[in-house]
Structure 1
Amino acid sequence: MVADNLKRLKDEIAETASRFNRNPDEINLLAVTKLADVDMIRRAYDSGHRDFGENYVQKIIPKMKILPADINWHFIGHIQKNKINKIIGKFALIHSVDSQHIAEAMEFRASNNDIVQDILIEVDSSGEIQKNGIPIDESNELVHFITENCPHLNLLGLMTVAPFTDDRKVIASCFEKVRNLRDGLEIDGLKLPHLSMGMTNDWKIAIE
């Protein structure tokens, strides 16, 4: 069941990518585990999947200890300063850095651990009060703060969560804003290969 669902979704991703002249190999499916038990994650792993995302540190740390070591864990939840010591060095990629003070705290911890942590900046592309992420118009400042002052944080791109709406134009506009932000930063000389966008209800729009 898990393997069949993953295969069906990956086939859909490949078909959607082809329709929009995208290379399917450049699109990575992140399986979010917050409702999955260890057995379900292991079945996904046994089918060949390696990238898993989690919102809550306290839920995933026990699972990490008993699941295969070559899983690429991604932290996608809101970062609390008092939990930073539990996520630095534990995740292949942290998607949700959204402020200078969080970046500073992560840099301090990564430096103490003598590691370089791969990260993304979470951008609030919709302007909704309840959304996490740094506002679009403040993003450049945070990008440059990290690249100039945080040698133990390796910035690889941007992440955003679109509003939960049936309005396709609103969702597409949010994704386009973040892509344009990334493209502008790359013109300035930064290399930001990752855009983390799209969930169950809007991933096809993200691929477009």
Structure 2
Amino acid sequence: MDFIKNNLAKINTTLPEHVTLVAVSKTKPVSDIQEAYDAGHRVFGENKIQEMVSKYDELPKDIQWHMIGHLQRNKVKYMAHFVDLIHGVDSFKTLVEIDKQAKKHNRVIRCLLQARIAKEETKFGLPFNEIEEILASEELAQLENVKVVGFMGMATFTHDKEVLQEEFSSLKTFFDQQKNTNTELTILSMGMSGDYQLAIENGSTMIRVGSSIFGARNYII
């Protein structure tokens, strides 16, 4: 009966205070999110904007919604009035669109730049040098309704801890270097159900956990 509540409690007891747990609720029904909410959790992540919008409409308004999936620019407008943090920004054009839509709602939307750290070709993200160029650009400074507050990285889908360690630590090193010149960088989003403990050991301040909270996902094909 208290499956989700117990899973949340178990994970929370292992987390350092500085680490934020994003409960990844994609494909899960509103009832599951409500159960997690009733257990005290407030931060939820979705990877499809339409799904997140419909859940936002049905659920309590003090939930912080994070967009964690690959972002299509033409759909930003549907979530600009409520999204709390966008994890997967991988182009300057996307930042421009987020700024444009946020302005319509008189909001500043926090964003993470997605770094490409995985060896897999399918993973989205920017190489470190392109992230540096965006952060240093005058064009970014002109976007008043967007705030880049950190980085997100998705590691290779593997059980090889050495590979994961290398990928996580490379992003942490880069994050620390950039923080020296940009005090707004406070969030490093790394780690999911299978590897979040290793990610935290390597400096993650935000983890994205789904199946360890809600159970295995049922994908509708």
Q: Name the residue aligned to 1:199.
A: 192
- What is the TM-score normalised by the length of structure 2? 0.85
Shift of 1:147: 4.2
**2:150 aligns to what SS in structure 1?**
strand
Aligned twin of 1:148 = 141
- Structure (1 or 2) with the greater helix fraction: 1
Deviations 1:96-149, CA, capped at 9 Å, x for gaps? 111011111112222233221111111111243210111123210122336423
Letter matched to residue 3 of structure 1 = K
Partner of 1:4: 6
For residues 91 and 107 of structure 1, the distance between their equivalents in structure 2, rounded to whole angstroms, comes to 13
Map 1:82-161 → 2, pairs under 5 A: 82-145=74-137, 147-161=140-154
Aligned residue for 2:17, secondary structure, equals helix
DSSP 3-state at the match of 1:29: strand
For residue 33 of structure 2, give the secondary structure of its aligned residue in structure 1: helix
**C-alpha contact (below 8 Å) 2:119/2:156 kept by paired residues:** no
**Greater shift after overlay, 161-170 or 137-146?**
137-146
Matched, 1:66 2:58: yes
C-alpha RMSD of the superposition: 1.4
Identity %: 34
Aligned twin of 2:178:
185
Write the distance in 1 (CA, Å) between the matches of 2:45 and 2:106.
24
SS at match of 1:126: coil
Describe the SS at the equivalent of 1:49.
Answer: coil
Structure 1 pair 62/86, CA: closer, same or farther in 2 (3 Å)?
A: same
For residues 61 and 191 of structure 1, the distance between their equivalents in structure 2, rounded to whole angstroms, comes to 28
Deviation at 1:84, TM superposition (A): 1.2
Match of 2:69 in 1: 77
Aligned partners of 1:127 and 1:135 also within 8 Å: no
Deviating beyond 6 angstroms after TM superposition, the runs of 4 or more aligned structure 1 residues are none
Rounded Cα–Cα distance in structure 2 between residues aligned with 1:100 and 1:169: 32
Aligned partners of 1:189, 1:66: CA distance in 2, in Å?
37
Report the number of matched residues: 198
What aligned pairs does 1:13-28 form with structure 2 within 5 A after superposition? 13=15, 24-28=16-20
Cα distance, 1:189 vs. partner? 3.7
Letter in 2 for 1:198: G
What TM-score do the two structures reach when normalised by structure 1? 0.90
Amino acid at match of 2:112: L
The whole-number CA distance in structure 1 between the counterparts of 2:104 and 2:42 is 28
* Cα 1:37/1:61, change in 2 over 3 Å: same
Counterpart of 1:46 in structure 2 is 38
